[in-house]
Each structure stands twice: as C-alpha cells, then as structure tokens.
Amino acid sequence: MDPLGNHRDYYQVFSVSRDATLLEIETAMDRKQQEYDPEKLDGLGERLLQLAQRETDLIRTAYEVLKDPQKRQRYNRQLDYQSKRSKRSFVNNSGTDKAMRQRAEVANNRAIDVWESGSHDEAIELWKTALQKGLHLAEIYNNLGSAYHYCGEPKLAIECFHDAIEIEPDLLEAYNRLAETYHSVGDTEAAIENWYQVLRINPSYTDAIEHLRQLNAEQYDLDNIPEYQEDQDPLPNTRRSGKTLMQKIANALKSFTT
C-alpha cells in the first residue's frame, strides 16, 4: 500500500522501477491507454465499468506524480519513510515471527504433500492441527478452505477464506476461492463482490473477469429480462449509466498526456 492508501504504489501501477526514466514511464502510459481503450470495454456491465473508471483515475494520478520531477521526489521520500517504518516494525518482531512462520510453512507443505497423495482427510487434519498449535499462516487457512470446498463443506470453507484474508488482506487467491464458494451455494451477490475485490488487487486477473462477464450476461443484462425487452427506451437506466462511464473513461484517457 502506498502513502496515500492505494494497494499498489505508483511505480507498481505502471510496472516500472523507481529509477525508471520519463521515457519509460510514458511508454508504460501508452500501454495503459491501449489496455483501457473504450472499444475493449464495450459490453462490460456497469460495475465492471465503475471498476475500470477507478483504475483509470489511479493511473492518471500516478502519471501526474511520476512525470513531474518535484512531485516524484516528494513521493519517493514518502515511500522511503513508509519502508523504514515497516522495517522497524518487522525487526521488533522478527525473531519469534520468523521461527513461527518457518514451522507453519513446514506444516503447510507436509499437508500439501499428503493431500496430493490422495489422503484428503489426513491432510485436512494436518492443517487443522497446525492451526491448533498457533501456526496461523494465511496460506494454511486458504488451503484448508480449498480442501473444505473440494470436499463439499462450503460453510467451513468460507470461514477459512475469511480467516486467511484477515491475516493477509491482499491474498488474491483467497478472495477468488471465496467467490467461487459463494457462487456454488447460490449467493451470487457475495460472489460478485469478492470477484470485484480480486480485480481491485489485480485488474487483469482473467478468471475473475470471465466469471463476472458470465454473471453479467446471464443474470444482470437487461436484454435477458423479459419485462425490459419491449421497453421503448433504447437505453434503459443501467445501460445508460454504462455508456456514461465508458465516456468518462475515454475522457480520462484523453487527458493523460495533455
């Protein structure tokens, strides 16, 4: 998270290093413009367009900071301060935490090996035992949740995924599996919200995009709801909102390099 509260710092937004030249940043900006070409966004639902708009807002802000030498220098100082503060916190707790994490990773890997050998019940017990011993690793909760999901225990799976996210709020895999589990029990709204969270962390995560496209086409597209098919207004409210968002995104892209 950057000093302004974004999950990715501005360099991560453009996938460039901190010593990137202005030319490299402008080249990365060109790639973003192509990625968010309005023609590529056509057909997306309103909520996906809202997500795209938030992303373009972040891209525009990042570009405005990184292209200006003085703003970039101040931003770098903020990043340095945050990094030093995080390192101090880590050093204060590194001894115990490092040993516990090593034990947790060993236990997690052992359970994975047992699971892959086909002994699913035994693997589940190993993950549970690790947690009972205080080895609270996000990956253990995530793997145990995946195991419960596989074994037809969605309620237990959901609890585990939430525990994993509480420990590691940006654990993309946990949000994705949580969405899949909610979808499997018919809680479409919760599934959609968690797939949106996946895209907030990684806007190009294909699996989440595909699920949201399918849900939008099958259940949230007004063309597929009979009472709307004879509507004399060719642009129902939700579609009008979508078109408006596409225009906002297009306008934002036009202003990036001006």
d(CA 208, CA 202): 10
Report the pLDDT averaged over residues 242-258: 49
Least confident of 66-70, 121-125, 131-135, 204-208: 204-208
Residues 60 and 107 in one domain: no
Residues 217 and 146 in one domain: yes
Q: What is the reported pLDDT for 224?
A: 37
Residue 24 has pLDDT above 70, yes or no: yes
For 2, the enclosing helix (H) or strand (E) is none
Residues 29 and 142 in one domain: no
Residues 119 and 214 in one domain: yes
Domain span including residue 32:
1-67
Indicate the number of domains in the chain. Answer: 2
Q: What is the reported pLDDT for 42?
A: 66
| Percent composition of the chain: helix, strand, coil (DSSP 3-state, to 5) | 75, 0, 25
CATH of the domain at 184: 1.25.40.10
Residues 104 and 192 in one domain: yes
pLDDT band at 129 (very low <50, low <70, confident <90, very high): very high
Q: What percent of the chain has pLDDT over 70?
A: 71
Residues 141 and 55 in one domain: no
Q: Is 60 part of any domain?
A: yes
Q: What sign results for the dihedral spanned by CA atoms 221, 224, 227, 228?
A: positive
Residues 138 and 217 in one domain: yes
Report the chain's terminal Cα–Cα distance, integer Å. 28
Residue 163 has pLDDT above 80, yes or no: yes
CATH of the domain at 3: 1.10.287.110
pLDDT band at 83 (very low <50, low <70, confident <90, very high): low
Q: Is 94 part of any domain?
A: no
Q: What is the reported pLDDT for 112?
A: 93
Residues 61 and 127 in one domain: no
Q: What is the reported pLDDT for 189?
A: 86
Report the pLDDT averaged over residues 245-256: 51
Residues 205 and 164 in one domain: yes
d(CA 104, CA 110): 10
Q: What is the reported pLDDT for 90?
A: 43
pLDDT band at 82 (very low <50, low <70, confident <90, very high): low
Q: Is 110 part of any domain?
A: yes
Q: Is 42 part of any domain?
A: yes
Q: What is the reported pLDDT for 36?
A: 75
Q: What is the reported pLDDT for 233?
A: 41
Residues 34 and 122 in one domain: no
Encode pLDDT of 40-65 as tens digits.
666 666 767 777 777 888 888 889 99
Q: What is the reported pLDDT for 176?
A: 94
- State the Rg of the chain over Cα: 22
Residues 188 and 108 in one domain: yes
For all residues of the chain together, what is the average pLDDT? 77
What pTM was estimated for this model as a whole? Answer: 0.52
Residue 220 has pLDDT above 70, yes or no: no
Q: Is 253 part of any domain?
A: no
Residues 103 and 6 in one domain: no
